[in-house]
C-alpha cells in the first residue's frame, strides 16, 4: 500500500476536493451526466497515477466499438486494475465488483460515481439479479466491466480460468465483448514498492454477438481468456521475458 500513500501525499492539497466531489456524485447520481462524472474521475485518476509514479501505455484504442453498450472483460491482476483502465479508456464505463468493495472508505464514493454494482459471489440469487441488471443497463447503451476470473489471481502475468457465468449478461444483451489484456498491473499496489512502473493496457478486437451466439458460456470464456493470454505472451516474448 506504499504507492497508495504516495498518491495521496502527492495530491494532498487536492485530495479533500476529490473526496467531496466523488461523494457528491455518488449521493446525487442524476444531477450530472455519465460523461461529466467519468470526466472528473478520469482527471483525478491521471493525477493519482502521476503522483504514484505509474505510467499507463494503452494499445488498441481503435478496437473500442463505436457504439456504446458493450461488455469489457479484462484479466484481473490486482487492486490497481481499474485505475489503469480509467486513465486510458476514453468513454464512461461502470464495473461489477465484489459487494465488500462498496463499503470501502472513499472507494465506495468513486464506485458510486460511476454506477458500479456490487455482487455477492456467495449468493446465487443475488448474482443472477446482478446479471439481469447489468444486461439491462448494457442494452440501454451503458458500458460495463466484469473480471471473468472472479478475483485477482496474484499470479503475475498468467491468466487464470475465466468463469462462464461472467458472460451471461452479454448473451442477454446481445452485446459486443471487448477483451482487454492487462500487463504488469499487479505492480501498482501489490509489489510493495514505490519505484516507477509502466502498466500496459491492450484492447483487443471486439467479439460481436453473431460470433459467439451459438457458443456455450464455458467455450466463450475459454476463447476470451486464450486471446488475452496470447497477447500477454506475445508482448512478454517481444521483451525477452
Q: What is the 3-state secondary structure (H, E, C) of 36-93?
A: HHHHHHHHHHHHHHHHCCEEEEEECHHHCCCCCCCEEEECCCCCCHHHHHHHHCCCCC
Rounded Cα gap, residues 228 and 222, in angstroms: 10
Rounded Cα gap, residues 192 and 189, in angstroms: 7
pTM > 0.75: yes or no = yes
% of the chain residues with pLDDT over 70: 100
How far CA 35 is from CA of 6, 114, 170, in Å, comes to: 28, 10, 23
Cβ atoms of 144 and 138 within 8 Å: the answer is yes
The predicted-structure confidence for 100-139, as pLDDT tens digits, reads as follows 888 888 889 999 999 999 998 788 889 889 999 999 999 9
The predicted-structure confidence for 51-104, as pLDDT tens digits, reads as follows 999 999 999 999 999 999 999 999 999 889 999 999 999 999 999 998 888 888
Q: Which helix (H) or strand (E) element contains residue 170?
A: helix 168-173
% of the chain residues with pLDDT over 90: 84
Rounded Cα gap, residues 153 and 241, in angstroms: 20
Residue that the C-alpha cell 447503451 belongs to: 141
Q: Are strands 94-98 and 117-119 parallel, antiparallel or unpaired?
A: parallel
Amino acid at each position: 500500500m506504499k504507492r497508495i500513500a504516495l498518491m495521496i501525499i502527492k495530491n494532498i492539497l487536492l485530495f479533500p476536493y476529490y473526496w467531496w466531489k466523488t461523494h457528491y456524485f455518488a449521493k446525487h447520481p442524476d444531477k450530472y451526466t455519465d460523461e461529466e462524472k467519468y470526466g472528473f474521475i478520469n482527471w483525478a485518476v491521471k493525477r493519482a497515477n502521476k503522483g504514484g509514479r505509474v505510467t499507463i501505455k494503452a494499445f488498441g484504442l481503435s478496437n473500442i466499438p463505436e457504439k456504446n453498450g458493450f461488455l469489457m472483460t479484462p484479466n484481473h491482476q490486482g487492486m490497481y486494475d481499474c485505475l489503469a483502465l480509467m486513465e486510458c479508456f476514453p468513454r464512461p464505463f461502470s464495473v461489477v465488483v465484489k459487494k465488500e468493495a462498496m463499503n470501502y472508505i472513499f472507494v465506495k464514493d468513486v464506485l458510486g460515481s460511476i454506477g458500479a454494482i456490487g455482487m455477492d459471489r456467495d449468493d446465487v440469487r443475488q448474482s443472477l439479479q446482478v446479471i439481469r441488471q447489468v444486461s439491462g443497463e448494457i442494452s440501454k447503451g451503458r458500458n460495463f466491466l466484469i473480471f471473468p476470473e472472479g478475483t485477482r489471481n496474484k499470479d503475475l502475468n498468467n491468466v487464470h480460468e475465466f468463469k462462464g457465468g461472467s458472460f451471461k449478461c452479454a448473451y442477454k444483451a446481445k452485446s459486443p465483448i471487448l477483451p482487454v489484456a492487462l500487463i504488469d498491473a499487479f505492480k501498482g499496489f501489490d509489489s510493495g514498492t514505490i519505484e516507477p512502473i509502466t502498466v500496459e493496457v491492450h484492447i483487443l478486437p471486439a467479439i460481436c454477438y453473431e460470433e459467439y451466439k451459438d457458443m456455450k458460456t464455458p467455450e466463450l470464456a475459454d476463447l476470451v481468456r486464450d486471446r488475452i493470454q496470447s497477447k500477454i505472451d506475445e508482448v512478454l516474448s517481444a521483451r525477452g521475458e
